[in-house]
Chain A
Amino acid sequence: NAGVTQTPKFQVLKTGQSMTLQCAQDMNHNSMYWYRQDPGMGLRLIYYSASEGTTDKGEVPNGYNVSRLNKREFSLRLESAAPSQTSVYFCASRGQPIGSGGGNEQFFGPGTRLTVL
């Protein structure tokens, strides 16, 4: 049981290049998320997917696209990378509701460190 896996771990891009960050979970979770982490700003939600076939914008979706390929996989695409997209990207999935049913425990992947020159 690997949990949430992300590839690649590190990536350097030039401005204008495109790439796709891959994420997969083997816990049979319905909801999946993409966040970016920047110093002093915590985690900000880029996109999320409540179930297979659905995706919704989060707080900072501009410059990104996502695909929920199936229940296991949720990919994040940068069509034309910009230096402002230099960040650490985390994928997460939501487990069973905790507490009285409304609690939200998310399981995180190890992250992708992206640098855009």
Chain B
Amino acid sequence: GEDVEQSLFLSVREGDSSVINCTYTDSSSTYLYWYKQEPGAGLQLLTYIFSNMDMKQDQRLTVLLNKKDKHLSLRIADTQTGDSAIYFCAESHYTDKLIFGTGTRLQVFP
């Protein structure tokens, strides 16, 4: 079945770049997503990429997709303390359902 994997923790210094990685198994995924969960809240869509794209940039966020290796990454430039949260990778294949990864807890320290 479909599976989405992420490392559980990442710790970075304020001002550095953060890179959060994700691997998935479903080669027919059409969209891949990054959702952000702040403490005590639900998830919120941060960005997404269509499977025929290699890269998408949105202000401080850069998404890279390596479809051959089924690897997705999210780079946050100039990481701030407000970026501390759990980041979930997710994928879908023209269905009504999302498959979420385990989530990566990003901790930003001064």
Does A associate with B in a complex?
yes
B41–A105 touching, CB < 8 Å: no
Chain B min CB distance to A41 (Å): 6
Stretch at the interface among B10-18, B59-67, B69-77, B97-105: B97-105
Chain B contacts for A98, CB-based, 8 A: 31, 48
B31–A104 touching, CB < 8 Å: yes
A45–B97 touching, CB < 8 Å: yes
B81 within 8 A of A: no
Give the nearest-CB partner of A106 in chain B. B98
Q: Mark A94-117, 1 if CB is under 8 A from B, else 0.
A: 100011101111101111000000
B101–A42 touching, CB < 8 Å: yes
Contact A42-B88, Cβ < 8 Å, known A92-B42, A99-B50, A110-B41: yes
Chain B contacts for A42, CB-based, 8 A: 4, 6, 88, 100-103
Chain B contacts for A31, CB-based, 8 A: 96
B44 within 8 A of A: yes
Chain A min CB distance to B88 (Å): 6
Contact A109-B42, Cβ < 8 Å, known A98-B48, A104-B92: yes
Interface residues on B, range: 20 to 34
A108–B97 touching, CB < 8 Å: no
Interface residues on A, range: 20 to 34
Interface residues of B in 74-110 (CB under 8 A from A): 88, 92, 94-98, 100-103
B43–A90 touching, CB < 8 Å: yes
> Which of A44, A48, A105, A108 lies in contact with B96, CB distance below 8 A?
A48
A100 to B42, CA, bound (A): 26
B40–A110 touching, CB < 8 Å: yes
A24 within 8 A of B: no
Most chain B CB neighbours (cut-off 10 Å) among A40, A90, A103: A103
A106–B102 touching, CB < 8 Å: no
B55 within 8 A of A: no
A40 to B88, CA, bound (A): 11
B42–A104 touching, CB < 8 Å: no
Chain A contacts for B45, CB-based, 8 A: 105-106
B30 within 8 A of A: yes
B92–A102 touching, CB < 8 Å: yes
